[in-house]
């Protein structure tokens, strides 16, 4: 049986098709993301704008069509921070339903963090150490604290790359003063991480994390086998922050490993990742190529 999951985020729409064998194992058929920036301008007026809605509906429709052509029996679609925040989310949800027949379920931040944690612990060998899993996206970041299958705490905060890009103008060349101001604002919004015991392991997922790892490895063609389980050092994140700070969006698009459509938001994403590490007292993280969509896949279709 083949199943598909569509994850509609603030910056990108992620899509996975997987085939479930009789023994319960999964084989990935398709796994990709398309940057549509659904949340573009959302902070200005609290509403989704017509153009981002249209291009995101187009992306979802193409994925639904691809799923049909691939023989998918059932599709699950979820929406995250941008759709939680926007006052006119129903406009987007209705447009997707009318165009494709698919219902996008807008899930809570807590549910998002739970499913992201499931995706990581089911795909990486992390032992029974004290673990923090974080998933940073365009509009929010989710954090889960636990050990293996045991979850001790989880929460979501409105810290996302799209939001800070617009707030501090991080889509092009910026000076160190602007970087300092953005870091301070991110740290203030992540104050729930302060003063906690240092975890044994930090695992990160989301477009910012995987793109940082892909740039480190100079992957001209994205390879999930290289990214999954890779280690990303704080010093490497610092190097890339300086790399992006001194370049325009067009210049960033020429960097090997960086998804071109992420050129505008990658600096903010890198600053968020670096601040998370600093707040948790760690100098490295384990990269997960698996994310919310894989958690939904495991829970909705894995039994």
The full set of domain ranges for the chain reads 2-107, 110-287
d(CA 111, CA 100): 25
Bigger pLDDT: 67 or 23? 67
Same fold, 2-107 and 110-287: yes
The arithmetic mean of pLDDT across residues 262-289, rounded, is: 97
- 113-124 confidence digits (pLDDT tens): 889 898 888 888
The CATH number of domain 2-107, selected from 1.10.357.10, 3.40.630.180, 3.40.50.300, 3.30.420.40: 3.30.420.40
Overall fold of domain 110-287: Nucleotidyltransferase; domain 5 (3.30.420)
What pLDDT score was predicted for residue 26? 85
Using alpha carbons, list the distances in angstroms from residue 288 to 14, 144, 272. Answer: 15, 14, 16
Q: What pLDDT digit, counting tens, does each position of 193-218 carry?
A: 999 999 999 999 999 999 999 999 99
Average pLDDT, the chain: 95
Dihedral, CA of residue 122, residue 125, residue 130 and residue 132, to nearest 10 = -60
**How many beta carbons lie within 10 A of that of residue 155, not counting itself?**
14
């Amino acid at each position: 049986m083949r199943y598909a999951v569509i994850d509609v985020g603030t910056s990108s729409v992620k899509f996975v098709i997987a085939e479930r064998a009789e023994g319960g194992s999964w084989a990935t058929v398709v796994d990709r993301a398309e940057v549509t920036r659904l949340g573009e301008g959302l902070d200005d007026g609290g509403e989704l704008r017509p153009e981002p809605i249209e291009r995101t509906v187009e992306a979802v429709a193409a994925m639904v069509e691809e799923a049909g052509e691939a023989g998918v029996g059932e599709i699950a679609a979820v929406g995250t921070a941008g759709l939680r925040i926007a006052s006119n989310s129903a406009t987007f949800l209705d447009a997707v339903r009318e165009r494709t027949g698919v219902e996008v379920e807008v899930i809570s931040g807590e549910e998002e963090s739970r499913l992201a944690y499931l995706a990581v612990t089911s795909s990486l060998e992390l032992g029974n150490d004290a673990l923090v899993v974080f998933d940073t996206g365009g509009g929010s970041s989710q954090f889960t604290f636990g050990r293996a299958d045991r979850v001790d705490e989880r929460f979501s905060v409105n810290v996302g790359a799209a939001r800070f890009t617009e707030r501090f103008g991080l889509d092009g060349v910026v000076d160190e003063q602007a970087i300092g101001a953005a870091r301070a604002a991110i740290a203030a919004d992540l104050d729930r991480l302060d003063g906690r015991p240092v975890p044994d392991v930090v695992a990160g997922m989301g477009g910012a994390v995987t793109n940082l790892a892909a740039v480190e490895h100079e992957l001209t063609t994205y390879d999930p086998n290289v990214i999954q389980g890779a280690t990303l050092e704080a010093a490497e994140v610092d190097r890339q922050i300086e790399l992006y700070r001194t370049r325009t969006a067009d210049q960033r698009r020429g960097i090997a490993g960086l998804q071109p459509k992420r050129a505008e938001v990658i600096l903010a994403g890198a600053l968020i990742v670096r601040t998370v590490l600093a707040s948790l007292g760690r100098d490295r993280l384990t990269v997960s190529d698996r994310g919310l969509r894989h958690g939904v896949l495991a829970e909705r279709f894995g039994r």
